[in-house]
Structure 1
Amino acid sequence: MAAATTERYRKEQSIPLRSSSAALYNNLSVLRLPGGRLAALSAVHGPSLSLLSAAADGLGFSHRQLQAKEGGMAVSTSLLTQAAWCVLQARVLLVLTSQRGIQMYESDGSIMVYWHALDVAEHSPARAVFARGIAAAGGRFVCVGTSSGLVLVFDIPPKGTNVTVSEVLEQHRDAITDIAAELGQAPVCVESAPDGAGDLVSADDAGTLCVWSTGEEFTLLSKIPAFGCSCSSVKLWNGIVAAGYGNGQIRLYEAATGLLRAEVNAHARWIYALDVAPQTGKLLSGAEDSFVHVWKLSRNPDTGEVAIEHCHAECVTDTQVCGARFCDPEGNSFAVTGYDLSEIFRYGRA
């Protein structure tokens, strides 16, 4: 771990939610438009999603409660497990996962584009069935994890509802917790990822990570073994896998080889969320210990050495942080949700 650098963030006006946030991993999603403008935020509570859309003048938010529908017009009674916007080359979809399946909507949640049911009958009644872990990959694919350890790859058409399951990735043996893709938005001045680095990573409840190369067919590049602790959240930046664990550690791995490059005892309790600012390599972490930390990832272009520096610590008093996301690609602002918290806290550079 490199010497700490200091960046100051200050608390800004929070955004009220119609309902509180559930204690779920990565329970905050942010949609950014080209140019870095914040477009929308969302957080899950029970069977509903709180959807906040930025006003055209940028001065406020409109609130909407999306009651997810599954398999047609029937209102869902199952609990949502995650929601995330997937930004593809030709369109943006809002993807929801639940105990029953996977739902894809137009970005504003107005129209359901696709519904994929989980086969509950195949599983033992004693075993929970759900989908969790959402990522856009390769410009036209949406990858979603399941409780049986599968990663479903959906091929998304430029428009319309003709979504198909193009592949099922079967390397995990435990429930998927999170999936992340290389965003490919690093500026030219930032060193590029090493050759052979994957552009998708999946994590599971046991702590196993799988790094994939995407394309017409997805290829497994490396499998990082578990070490006795669940991995709740993963991110990918410049060929570096950043993984957050239940023991409060952040570990950095090479996406090309799976080699461990750095580990930090980042939090005193379970990490619930990670996010990365693609243009700067800033890493955001939030945990049960009520802290949110900002870190800086870097790679030495000559030696390939990976470093992580601590930049900022923010105590969100009496809050079990369950969601944390940067609001711009440079990492100059971020938002935070917490269990049973009926607002989203926002922070900006001081």
Structure 2
Amino acid sequence: MEDDVIGVTIATKAPCTDHRSDSAAMYRKDKSIQMKSSASSLYNNLSVLPISDKSLTYFTVVHANTVNMVSASADGLNFSHRQLQSKEGSVALSSSLITQASWCVLPSRVLLVLTSQKGIQMYESDGSIMVYWHALDALETPQAQAVFARGIAPAGGRYICVGTSSGLVLVFDIPTKGTNITLAEVLAEHRDAITDIACETCEGKDRDVDLVTADDSGVLCVWKSGDDFRLVMKISAYGVTCSSVKLWDGVIAAAYGTGQIRLYDASTGAISAELDSHARWIYTLDIAPETGRVEHRHSECVTDTQICGARFCDPQGSAFAVTGYDLNEIIRYVQL
């Protein structure tokens, strides 16, 4: 197996908060977190939720029909493990593969969202209580096409958006508490399976666009969320899958199967920059929202591992973690 390379690049056109003026930030490998099972080969197969008031960080990694949940203390010495399985209502589905697990942070609450071949599950942030289940309708999908949900992001302060294999984006209205979650809208602009969804992560600015959806053909749809979601523009297919996308301070960062990362102006769709650092398919992309400069900061070679998940562990980008296919550990790096 060939090695995979992690590139730590912080990309934006302008800072949205006050930032330090230090020079290049290098990282060193920290103690890894062992998991009860390994990571599946999926796009964006790692989600991280920092809990600052408890000095904890939550991690989720998908393995087949199970989600590995780990809470880690700030000093990296104490860990707590939990596993969630794919369910239909309260019944476990041993044959239904999970395609993604991600936390959605809304102003009033945090939910853990799981997508699978059967439907969409939403849990309280610690995974203790399932508050909502939405079944996928296989009858709406051509017989030869796989049925699954994939791509998860909060939007507009009260919504959670989830993509499907048919190209639909389901918009769920989330109450401030309780289980009265409703399907508010279905966005039907994509013709291929959704790969990833991203919301605007730079706070304090009201922008004309605040959501981006990506699909298997490479098409990006740019939206303004609200009581009625409005399509602002489509960015044409690049000829290859867009596997991962992020939206920050009016900049869209999109990663492709060619190994390229493209930066677009979210308001116009114009290309701002193209990064050609990777030689192979990119499975995951992340941005540290409280750091603002365009600069390559660090590269790391992970031997004999296919990287399938990478996330910053805090908004400042002072630490990040990665997962690898068939690897039963979360590898962590901290800033020197």
Q: Distance in 2 between matches of 1:58 and 1:9?
A: 16
- Residue matched to 1:310: 296
Q: Distance in 1 between matches of 2:143 and 2:258?
A: 30
Report the alpha carbon displacement of residue 85 of structure 1 after superposing the two structures with TM: 0.4
Equivalent residue in structure 1 for 2:68, among 40, 50, 57: 50
Q: Please give the root-mean-square deviation of Cα atoms over the aligned residues, in Å.
A: 1.9
Report the alpha carbon displacement of residue 22 of structure 1 after superposing the two structures with TM: 0.4
- Residue matched to 2:40: 22
Report the alpha carbon displacement of residue 204 of structure 1 after superposing the two structures with TM: 0.3
Unaligned runs of 5+ in 2: 1-10, 13-22
Mark the CA change 1:36 to 1:252 in structure 2 (over 3 Å): closer, same or farther: farther
Q: What is the identity percentage for the equivalent residue pairs of Structure 1 and Structure 2? A: 65
Equivalent residue in structure 1 for 2:111, among 93, 97, 103: 93
SS across alignment from 2:87? coil
Report the alpha carbon displacement of residue 125 of structure 1 after superposing the two structures with TM: 2.8
Equivalent residue in structure 1 for 2:192, among 169, 174, 184: 174
- Residue matched to 1:344: 330
Residues 1:237 and 2:223 are matched in the alignment = no
- Residue matched to 2:202: 184
Q: Distance in 1 between matches of 2:207 and 2:312?
A: 28
Q: Distance in 1 between matches of 2:28 and 2:203?
A: 26
TM-score normalized by structure 1?
Answer: 0.86
- Residue matched to 2:280: 269
SS across alignment from 2:31? strand
The count of residues paired between Structure 1 and Structure 2 equals 316
Report the alpha carbon displacement of residue 217 of structure 1 after superposing the two structures with TM: 1.1
- Residue matched to 1:202: 213
Residues 1:218 and 2:229 are matched in the alignment = yes
* Counterpart contact for 2:217–2:242, Cα < 8 Å: yes
Mark the CA change 1:57 to 1:325 in structure 2 (over 3 Å): closer, same or farther: closer
* Counterpart contact for 2:31–2:76, Cα < 8 Å: no
Unaligned runs of 5+ in 1: 187-191, 282-297, 299-307
TM-score normalized by structure 2?
Answer: 0.90
Q: How does 1:102-117 map to 2 (within 5 A)?
A: 102-117=120-135
Residues 1:128 and 2:114 are matched in the alignment = no
Q: Which runs of 4+ in 1 moved over 6 A?
A: none
- Residue matched to 1:335: 321
* Counterpart contact for 1:221–1:257, Cα < 8 Å: no
* Counterpart contact for 1:98–1:132, Cα < 8 Å: yes
- Residue matched to 1:119: 137
Residues 1:70 and 2:81 are matched in the alignment = no
Q: What letter matches 2:87 in structure 1?
A: K
Report the alpha carbon displacement of residue 139 of structure 1 after superposing the two structures with TM: 1.3
Equivalent residue in structure 1 for 2:180, among 151, 162, 171: 162
* Counterpart contact for 2:86–2:116, Cα < 8 Å: no
SS across alignment from 1:121? helix
* Counterpart contact for 1:222–1:255, Cα < 8 Å: no
